[in-house]
């Protein structure tokens, strides 16, 4: 065992001794691992199922559940079934904290998967790590989800700063924009995007001409759009989620303002064009992986779409695919960790895992003992004729 893994094991042991001495029902690793029994592995996830991010959080949950159901039907992980306990935060950090405590103390979750929303993740991640639980692949590409290096936290998705720096720079250089502006959510998510946009502009000798924010959950953006239009912006970057992306573009089109807009991966979803219609035609977005459209799908993807429809009665979207991929990566690492599943063993297995490219078209995710970020790149896409089309390879 490496010195690093030995240190992790000792830290988890010491933590469990402390918690086990003060919290009923929590036992030490010498007896069992929290969330791992003879028959099952309990996993936790905090999602937005009722707030402004519900259009994303719900398919993430469904994608994970589908993969775990398939794994259980095939015998589970070393004979243990996987049980996912999902709590709804409504995109509210305070509700996220309460949900996290419940999942740690009552449900004894072995790991947290795909926690949704940067504000919620920033409020809950310290609680999860302090409890000695794995914090895996949150839907918050915030730098703090993978640095500083911590044995229990792993990030799958390219960070906002990195991919927005590259996307902004590529768009401005290839299309000749001179007046770039930003509409951003007034929280950690928006600020991380802003840093990336500003860095990209600085590299090519430009700056943000105007920036304006909105409060999380806003449903009216007329004043923000009027401010950006008055600044004569010829390119607007959107640090928004699906609903606010549609509101922003609809308001611009309603007032007769036709300007190119680029949204982060948080707005890259089929719901954007399904709900936005003609108002969002031409919108640019950052893609982590292609949208799983049935038309033109490869055989494995087509079969998966059929399974998803049969299970949920609706077509999957890119968030469904990402949820499924996250769950699949957990299954692969847990199988590789062996029958005696512990946090330290899972970490070692994940750091050495070499998964193949999947049928969704995901990038090649890789981790190591010194790097817990699985991917650093995104691609550009655009809504054309009512569907997303990939425009570029991964931007570097």
Q: CA 245, CA 369: separation in Å to the nearest integer?
A: 38
Shared domain check, 149 and 10? yes
165 is a domain residue: yes
Residue numbers of the domain that contains 68:
3-157+298-365
pLDDT of amino acid 371: 97
Residue at 395 is within a domain: no
Q: What does the pLDDT read at residue 376?
A: 85
Residue 376 and residue 165 in contact, taking contact as beta carbons nearer than 8 Å = no
Do 18 and 43 share a domain, yes or no?
yes
- Judgement on whether residues 75 and 172 belong to the same structural domain of the protein: no
My answer on whether 131 and 172 are in the same domain is no
> Which residue's structure tokens are 């050495």?
352
Which alpha helices (DSSP H) does the chain contain, by range? 3-22, 54-73, 93-105, 118-130, 160-175, 188-203, 222-230, 242-254, 270-276, 299-312, 318-337, 343-352
Q: Are residues 129 and 30 in the same domain?
A: yes
267 and 152 belong to one structural domain: no
Examine residue 176 and state whether it is found in any structural domain, yes or no: yes
The reply to whether 186 falls in a domain is: yes
Whether residue 333 sits in one domain with residue 269: no
Residue 292 lies in a domain: no
* Together in a domain, 177 and 303: no
Do 77 and 335 touch, CB atoms closer than 8 A? Answer: yes
Q: Give me the CATH number covering residue 353.
A: 3.40.50.2300
**C-alpha 52: how far from chain center:** 15
In this structure, the answer to whether residues 167 and 133 fall within a common structural domain is no
Kindly state whether residue 396 falls inside one of the protein's structural domains: no
Note whether 389 and 382 are within 8 A (CB): yes
DSSP, residue by residue, 192-226? HHHHHHHHHHHHTT---SEEEEE-TT----HHHHH
**CA distance to 14, 17, 161, 166, 260, per residue, from 195 (Å):** 38, 41, 6, 12, 20
| Structure confidence at residue 362 (pLDDT) | 85
Q: For residues 354 and 345, what is the distance between their CA atoms, to the nearest angstrom?
A: 16
Both tokens of residue 268?
């890259």
Same domain membership, residue 192 and residue 48: no
- pTM score above 0.85: no
Strand 81-88 and strand 134-136: the pairing is: unpaired
pLDDT beneath 70: ranges in the chain: 1-31
DSSP code of 38? S
Structural domain total, the chain: 2
Please provide the average confidence, as pLDDT, over all residues in the chain: 91
DSSP state of 34: T
**Cβ atoms of 8 and 48 closer than 8 Å:** no
Rounded Cα–Cα distance for residues 391 and 396 (Å): 14
- Whether 24 and 149 share a structural domain: yes
Q: How far is CA 50 from the centre of its chain?
A: 17
> Are 115 and 92 in the same domain?
yes
Q: How far apart are CA 270 and CA 222, in angstroms?
A: 24
Residue 370 included in any domain: no
> Would you say residue 293 lies in a domain?
no
């Amino acid at each position: 065992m490496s010195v690093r893994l030995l240190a992790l094991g000792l830290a988890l042991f010491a933590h469990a001794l402390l918690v086990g001495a003060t919290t009923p029902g929590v036992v030490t690793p010498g007896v069992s691992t929290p969330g791992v029994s003879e028959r099952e592995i309990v996993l936790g996830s905090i999602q937005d199922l009722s707030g402004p991010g519900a259009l994303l959080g719900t398919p993430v949950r469904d994608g994970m559940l589908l993969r775990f159901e398939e794994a259980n039907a095939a015998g589970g992980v070393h004979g243990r079934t996987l049980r996912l306990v999902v709590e709804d935060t409504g995109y509210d950090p305070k509700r996220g904290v309460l949900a996290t405590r419940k999942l740690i103390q009552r449900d004894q979750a072995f790991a947290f998967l795909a926690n949704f929303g940067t504000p919620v993740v920033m409020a809950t991640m310290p609680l999860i790590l302090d409890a000695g639980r794995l914090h895996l692949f949150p839907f918050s590409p915030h730098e703090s989800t993978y640095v500083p290096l911590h044995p229990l936290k792993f990030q799958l998705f390219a960070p906002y700063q990195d991919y927005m720096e590259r996307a902004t720079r590529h768009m401005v250089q290839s299309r000749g924009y001179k007046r770039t502006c930003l509409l951003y959510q007034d929280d950690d998510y928006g600020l991380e995007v802003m840093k990336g946009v500003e860095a990209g502009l600085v590299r090519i000798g430009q700056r943000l001409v105007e920036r304006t924010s909105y409060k999380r959950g806003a449903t009216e953006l007329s004043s923000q759009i009027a401010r950006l239009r008055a600044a004569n912006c010829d390119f607007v970057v959107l640090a928004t989620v699906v609903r606010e992306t549609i509101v922003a573009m609809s308001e611009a089109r309603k007032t007769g303002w036709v300007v190119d807009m680029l949204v982060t991966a948080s707005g890259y979803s089929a719901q954007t064009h399904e709900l936005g219609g003609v108002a969002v035609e031409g919108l640019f977005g950052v893609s982590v992986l292609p949208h799983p459209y049935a038309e033109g799908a490869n055989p494995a993807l087509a079969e998966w779409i059929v399974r998803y429809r049969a299970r949920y009665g609706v077509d999957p979207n890119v968030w469904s695919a990402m949820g499924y991929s996250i769950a699949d990566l957990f299954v692969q690492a847990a199988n590789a960790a062996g029958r005696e599943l512990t946090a330290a063993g899972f970490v070692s297995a994940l750091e050495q895992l070499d998964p193949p490219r999947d049928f969704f078209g995901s990038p090649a995710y890789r981790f190591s003992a010194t790097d817990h970020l699985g991917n650093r790149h995104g691609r550009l896409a655009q809504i054309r004729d009512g569907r997303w089309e990939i425009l570029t390879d991964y931007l570097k």
